[in-house]
Amino acid sequence: MSQRDIQIDEAGNLVHFLTLEGLSRPTLVGILDLAESFVGFEAREIKKVPLLRGKTVVNLFFEPSTRTRTTFEIAAKRLSADVINMNPARMSTSKGETVLDTVRNLEAMHTDMFVVRHEFSGTAYLIACHVPPHIRIINAGDGRHAHPTQAMLDMFTIRQHKPDFANLSVAIVGDILHSRVARSQIHALNTLGVPDIRVIAPMTLLPTEVERLGVRAYTDMASGLDDVDVIVMLRLQMERMRGQLIPSEQAFFRCYGLTEDKLQQAKTDAVVMHPGPINRGLEIASSVADGPQSLILPQVTNGIAVRMAIMAQLMGGAGRKEAA
Amino acid sequence: MSQRDIQIDEAGNLVHFLTLEGLSRPTLVGILDLAESFVGFEAREIKKVPLLRGKTVVNLFFEPSTRTRTTFEIAAKRLSADVINMNPARMSTSKGETVLDTVRNLEAMHTDMFVVRHEFSGTAYLIACHVPPHIRIINAGDGRHAHPTQAMLDMFTIRQHKPDFANLSVAIVGDILHSRVARSQIHALNTLGVPDIRVIAPMTLLPTEVERLGVRAYTDMASGLDDVDVIVMLRLQMERMRGQLIPSEQAFFRCYGLTEDKLQQAKTDAVVMHPGPINRGLEIASSVADGPQSLILPQVTNGIAVRMAIMAQLMGGAGRKEAA
Amino acid sequence: MSQRDIQIDEAGNLVHFLTLEGLSRPTLVGILDLAESFVGFEAREIKKVPLLRGKTVVNLFFEPSTRTRTTFEIAAKRLSADVINMNPARMSTSKGETVLDTVRNLEAMHTDMFVVRHEFSGTAYLIACHVPPHIRIINAGDGRHAHPTQAMLDMFTIRQHKPDFANLSVAIVGDILHSRVARSQIHALNTLGVPDIRVIAPMTLLPTEVERLGVRAYTDMASGLDDVDVIVMLRLQMERMRGQLIPSEQAFFRCYGLTEDKLQQAKTDAVVMHPGPINRGLEIASSVADGPQSLILPQVTNGIAVRMAIMAQLMGGAGRKEAA
């Protein structure tokens, strides 16, 4: 059974959120619409809804994270769930227990949802294959494979500013090779009908046969950014680079760092995005990151609403109905 | 004053939970019965009761733990308590503060219950001796001494499957010498009237004069497991073994690891338990751990209900009445 | 704009709590009075008020802390806020993100209040300069600069026992040079009208021109403690001492450690305070720390009520009205 199959049950309901591959356009649009309803709510005086009251959400982060873990924790608490943060550094895995044994123990505690991040591709899927039917798994990033909630918040942010996916040019720039974010974004953009998706990177940071994913590949910014509506900068993941994939940070910034100058290539109303945390002066100039075209902080804000929507959707209730 | 005395107040109420030594059979049965009422509740849509609403429970784990800390946190939250997790790695004890000063500070914050784990035997007792009367202490494991909530959840699990303690043969297998779990289990089994309690281990892992605890000692599995109803495997605590107490892991597994083959010695409907985390292929074969006679995961599930019962019992209220 | 200006808005409301410099006596007294109302409340069966319900408080501790972090967490939860603890050891700052980028991300998550501790003076101020108007910043200690909530709980504790600030002699003893606590206490005592404020320390631990802060400096305990009403002992911050500022711990204790003997110099009803964690036998003898004149644990208790008051005050609502 593939990841596509396991996340939809026989009645067609979304039961896990592991990858965007295989999810239909109505499913993605349904999540975006549901998230929309939580955005207004965000500004209210009391930011709580009882959709997950009495439910226990476990943040199971084998890899460290600030913003993703925190936004999931905030999203779950705003849905009135109890949140348990697992500290991998001291988990029983360090006593020789396998990931699946850890998970079996957590499910035996009658918890309801696991938000999983792991350095190995496929961990969230592996877990989803082994949990009983009432437990929901959300992939918060697995190796180089996928980061579907990030891609959904990016789609949400794009739609806020460029509502018509069918008329967009989107360029994703930087370390495509190691980026689970890019992979998930490409799936989402294709599913939502974006006709022109580009990736821009040095040859060493492009996957082989990347065009098969439904994108056009560029190795220079001038032509890659030409006339695009949306520029998505990726974090240069120094910690994942084994060997010398870039000559130097300075050289990388000179060629692929987004500066005000390079930004001129795009449409004048183009927007700039980045999943964070940003490396100022490495993949993006501060003047652009903090400039008027930047949506970097709105992305973070939208992350809460989008994650609330995905959690609500998976747990059924209001979410499912509205998004059906 | 002994640990037995300090945990019962003058009116006969349980006020701390430090050790099972000295607790009467009605007290233990009362906790098991109260836990029973929380098991049904576990399956409800909203898993919350307000018994500890407005109370603050502090998880004070000087030793790392996944499942015990997490089950206490979940149990406390399902009772509607606020939970504070103390991170020993950064606690003031590292600035030279004593454990008792740390505890005095926590009690000065008007907290209500401390769940304490420490590598030194007697720490929970020491703390209980020094807190004011309204504060409750639960021992979540102290050195080699006791782990009474684990033993209670084990008794609960046994009773679910073998309701008549007066007709049971129970074998505890493995590292008896270092096991606080075994010590607490032996007290519980004796108090509940189990007539045949056995411990099975190599000589190097048996305490001297272990029979004084009210058990029979065996050094070989074949005779030790003969016709028993319940097999409790212990974790081989490699981290506590100073010096060479076992020849090798392979040799240990060959002699004392629970395999399907050795399991044949027990009654055909015997059940297998383990406090976790399990070392697959060291003290237990995967086929047994995951097999039909294994209760390892039900033990974890029962851990929540049993800990809710103990917390509710100590804080008085509904718990006390139902269990009286 | 100075720290004084940024923490009061145009309508005269307190919007951040960064330093006591520049706060008026009515403002400080208003906080103490509001805290008073939470003290009775502390003893209630259910210790919750809904003043911060639906609000998200982020504990942003770049420096480790037990008691301060925990009291803020407890205070926030008793006000019904959601609390997010950020673990600096794994924060994105370790991935090269700046403190301000971390903060911008947190504010983008629609959080409402940051409680900030950092080893660098001015960090809380820096953050307050950059957050949007609806976010509140509380300084929980910045370098050597200030620790205003600690000073407020100290004032509260003094007032409980010596209600007339206008007739007090207060001596602050120990490592004045490195103490953000001492600096904040001196501001508070001056503002509240204490006529006789003394600091006692070896020359090496006195700031140059310390008298400019409005205190009298002493280098010997006998004259410094003569006839005082309140003795505030400071923690000897061994971890902040670069170079040899004291000859030895033994010598320091002999000269400046508070013993029963030296305590005789003060008034017979003098009270003894210490922000904790205490170094027994270094700056204070156990017999004094645990003795009848010690208010060290009441200080911790009062810390909850005072921090609740400051949080409630900053968020407006009941707090503001009562304290106006």
Assess whether B274 and B314 both reside in one domain: no
Same domain, C161 and C267: yes
pLDDT in tens, A179-196: 999 999 999 999 999 999
The verdict on B275 and B219 lying in the same domain is: yes
Instruction: Report how far apart the first and last C-alpha atoms of chain C are (Å, whole number).
Output: 24
The chain C residue lying nearest A307, using CA atoms, is C109
Q: Which of A300-304, B231-235, B245-249, C167-171 has the lowest mean pLDDT?
A: B245-249
What global pTM score does this model have?
0.87
Residues C162 and C271 in one domain: yes
Beta carbon pairs, B and C, within 8 Å: 70
* Cβ separation C74–B111 shorter than 8 A: yes
- The amino acid present at A269, given as its one-letter code, is D
Tokens (6 digits) for A294? 């930047």
How many percent of chain A have pLDDT more than 70?
90
pLDDT number for residue B90: 47
Query: In chain C, which residue's Cα lies nearest the Cα of A236?
Result: C95
- In chain A, the number of structural domains is 2
C270 shares its domain with C317: no
Q: What is the pLDDT of residues A114-158, one digit of tens each?
A: 999 998 899 999 999 999 889 999 999 999 999 999 999 999 999
Does the beta-carbon distance from C92 to A301 stay under 8 Å? Answer: no
Nearest residue, CB atoms, A70 vs list C54, C98, C109: C109
Task: Give the chain B residue whose CA is nearest to the CA of C303.
Answer: B109
Based on the fold, state whether residues A10 and A140 are members of the same structural domain. Answer: yes
CA distance C279 to A321: 60
Task: Transcribe C164-213 into DSSP letters.
Answer: -GGG-EEEEES-TTT-HHHHHHHHHHHHTT-SEEEEE--GGGS-TTGGGG
Task: Give the chains touching A; criterion: ≥3 Cβ pairs < 8 Å.
Answer: B, C
**Minimal Cα–Cα distance from C156 to chain A, Å?**
31
B/e letters for B72-102, b = 16+ CB within 10 Å, e = fewer, are bbbbbbbbbbbbbbbbbebbbbebebebebb
Q: Please report which helix (H) or strand (E) contains residue C218, including its range.
A: strand C216-218
Q: Over 90: is that where the pLDDT of B275 sits?
A: yes
Q: Does residue C323 register a pLDDT over 60?
A: no
**A319 pLDDT exceeds 50?**
no
A158 and A290 co-located in one domain = yes
Q: Which residues pair with B231 in a beta bridge?
A: B171, B272
State residue B101's pLDDT score.
Answer: 87
Considering the domain architecture, whether residues B142 and B152 belong to the same structural domain is answered as no
The answer to whether the beta carbons of residues C194 and C222 sit under 8 Å apart is no
Chain A residue with CA closest to B62: the answer is A90
Mean predicted confidence (pLDDT) in A27-54: 86
> Which one of C61, C67, C306 makes the best mutation probe of the B interface by having the most chain B beta carbons within 10 Å?
C67
DSSP string, C59-74: EEESS--SHHHHHHHH
Chain-chain contact of C108 with A46 (C-beta, under 8 angstroms): no
Give how far the C-alpha of residue C154 lies from the chain's centroid of Cα atoms, to the nearest Å.
7
| Closest CA relative to residue C236, chosen from B96, B299, A295, A79 | B96
B221-247: average pLDDT: 85
For position A316, what pLDDT does the model report? 83
Q: Which pLDDT does position B17 carry in this prediction?
A: 97
**Cβ contact C64–B90 (<8 Å):** yes
- What amino acid occupies position B183? R
- In order of A200, B5, C216, the CA distances from A206 in angstroms are 8, 70, 69
pLDDT, greater one: C271 or A62:
C271
User: Amino acid identity, residue A302?
Assistant: N
Number of alpha carbons in the 13 Å side-chain half-sphere of residue A212: 5
Cβ B277–A101 below 8 Å, yes or no? yes
Same domain, C283 and C262: yes
The residue-averaged pLDDT of A264-272 equals 98
Residue B49 has pLDDT above 80, yes or no: yes
Q: Are C105 and A45 an interchain contact pair (Cβ–Cβ within 8 Å)?
A: no
- Give dist(CA C131, CA C109) in Å, integer: 12
Q: For chain A, what's the residue count?
A: 324
Of C54, C98, C105, the CB nearest to A67: C105
Nearest to B297 among A98, A108, A111 (CB): A108
Left if phi > 0, otherwise alpha if psi is -120 to 50, otherwise beta: which for A263? alpha
Token digits of residue A113:
């949802």
> With 90 as the cut, is the pLDDT of residue C148 above it?
yes
Contacting B with CB below 8 Å, chain C residues are: 42-48, 64-67, 70-71, 73-74, 77-78, 239, 276-280, 297-298, 300-301, 303-304
What is the rounded CA–CA span in Å between residue A172 and residue B228? 65
In this prediction, residue B67 carries a pLDDT of: 81
B98 and B68 co-located in one domain: yes
Q: How far apart are CA B8 and CA B38, in angstroms?
A: 24
Q: What is the pLDDT of residue C237?
A: 75
- Token pair 């009062």 is found at C302
pLDDT score for B65 = 80
For C53, which of A46, A67, A276 is closest by C-beta distance?
A46
Alpha-carbon gap, residue C179 to C196, rounded angstroms: 20
Chain A CB contacts of B298 below 8 Å: 108
Mean pLDDT of B46-57: 89
Which of C43, C65, C70 is opposite residue B109, by nearest beta carbon? C70
Question: How far C118 CA lies from chain A's nearest CA (Å)?
Answer: 17
Average pLDDT value for residue range C181-192: 97
Nearest to C109 among A46, A239, A301 (CB): A301
In percent, the amount of chain B with pLDDT more than 90 equals 73
Structure tokens at C172: 């602050």
Contact C137, C116 (CB under 8 A): yes
Distances (CA, A) of B10 to A139, A292, B16, B133: 53, 71, 13, 12
pLDDT for the residue B95: 55
Of A73, A276, A301, the CB nearest to C110: A301
> Is the Cβ–Cβ distance between B171 and B198 less than 8 Å?
yes
- pLDDT for residue A318 is more than 70: no
**Distance (Å, rounded) from C-alpha B63 to C-alpha B41?**
31
Instruction: Determine which of A109, A135, A315 to mutate to test the interface with B (most B C-beta atoms within 10 Å).
Output: A109
Are A96 and B277 in contact, with CB atoms under 8 Å apart?
Answer: yes
pLDDT (mean) for B77-103 = 75
Per the structure block, which two tokens stand in for B299?
């033990």
d(CA C176, nearest CA chain B) in Å: 19
**Token pair listed for B61:** 């784990």
Q: What is the mean pLDDT of residues C156-184?
A: 97
Local confidence band at A34 (pLDDT 50, 70, 90 cut-offs): very high
Q: Write down the mean pLDDT value for chain C.
A: 90
Chains with at least 3 CB pairs less than 8 angstroms from chain B = A, C
pLDDT at A90: 47
DSSP letter string over A223-281?
HHTTT-SEEEE----GGG--S-SSS-HHHHHHHHSB-HHHHTTS-TT-EEE--S---BT
Helix (H) or strand (E) holding A290: none
Residue from the list B65, B70, B239 with its beta carbon closest to the beta carbon of A109: B70
What is the three-state SS of A101-167? HHHHHHHHCCCCEEEEEECCCCHHHHHHHHCCCCCEEEEEEECCCECHHHHHHHHHHHHHHCCCHHH
Q: Is the pLDDT higher at B320 or at B58?
A: B58
CB contact under 8 A, A54 and B46: yes
Would the CB atoms of C46 and B56 count as touching at under 8 Å?
no
Q: Is the pLDDT of residue C8 over 60?
A: yes
Please count the other Cβ atoms lying within 10 Å of the Cβ belonging to residue B32.
Answer: 23
Question: Residue B312 and residue B53: Cα distance in Å, rounded?
Answer: 11
Cα B98 → chain centroid: 26
To probe the interface with B, which of C41, C45, C70, C87 has the most B CB atoms within 10 Å?
C70
Asked, as a colleague might, if the bond just before C277 is cis with ω within 30 of 0, I would say yes
Chain A's closest residue to C89, CA to CA, is A64
Closest CB to B278 among A53, A86, A101:
A101
Confidence band of A241 (pLDDT split at 50, 70, 90): low
Q: Quote the minimal CA–CA distance from A145 to chain B in Å.
A: 28
- Contact residues, chain B to chain C, C-beta under 8 Å: 53-56, 82, 84, 86, 90-92, 94-98, 101-102, 104-106, 108-111
Structure tokens at A250: 């300075």
- 3-state SS of B62-82 is CCCCCHHHHHHHHHHHHCCCE
Q: In whole angstroms, what separates CA B76 from the centre of its chain?
A: 17
What's the CA gap between C205 and C178, in Å, rounded? 8
**In chain A, which residues have their Cβ closer than 8 Å to the Cβ of B68?**
none
The answer to whether the CB atoms of A92 and B304 lie below 8 A apart is no
CA–CA dist B294, B288 (Å, integer): 7
CATH (domain of A201):
3.40.50.1370
| Percent share of chain C, pLDDT over 70 | 90
Nearest to C110 among A47, A64, A67 (CB): A47
Our CA dihedral for B236, B239, B241, B245, rounded to 10 degrees, sits at 50
pLDDT at res. A236: 87
To the nearest whole Å, the CA of A111 is away from the closest chain B CA by: 9
Q: Are B174 and B235 in contact (CB under 8 A)?
A: yes
Judged by CB atoms closer than 8 Å, whether chains meet at C42 and B110 is answered as yes
Choose from A101, A134, A135, A315 for mutation: most chain B CBs within 10 A.
A101
- Distance, CA of C64 to CA of C85 (rounded, Å): 12
Put simply, the answer to whether C92 touches A276 (Cβ < 8 Å) is yes
Closest CA to A15 of A318, A322, A315: A315
Residue C65 pLDDT > 90: no
**Shared domain check, C211 and C100:** no
Indicate whether B187 pLDDT > 50.
Answer: yes
pLDDT tens by residue, C36-50: 999 876 667 667 899
Query: What share of chain B in percent tops pLDDT 70?
Result: 90
Q: Which domain holds residue B292?
A: 148-296
Same domain, A193 and A127: no
Lowest mean pLDDT among A55-64, B227-236, B282-291, C15-24: A55-64
- The CA-atom distances, in angstroms, between B284 and each of B173, B205, B255, B272 are 10, 17, 11, 10
Q: Encode pLDDT of A74-88 as tens digits.
A: 999 999 999 998 866
According to the model, what pLDDT value does residue A321 have?
36
Inspect the interface and report whether the beta carbons of C111 and A301 lie closer than 8 Å: no
Q: Which two tokens stand for residue C13?
A: 């409301």
Mean pLDDT across A99-123: 91
Tokens representing residue B231 in the block: 């097999």
Most A-contacting residue of B47, B249, B306 (CB-CB within 10 A), to test interface:
B47
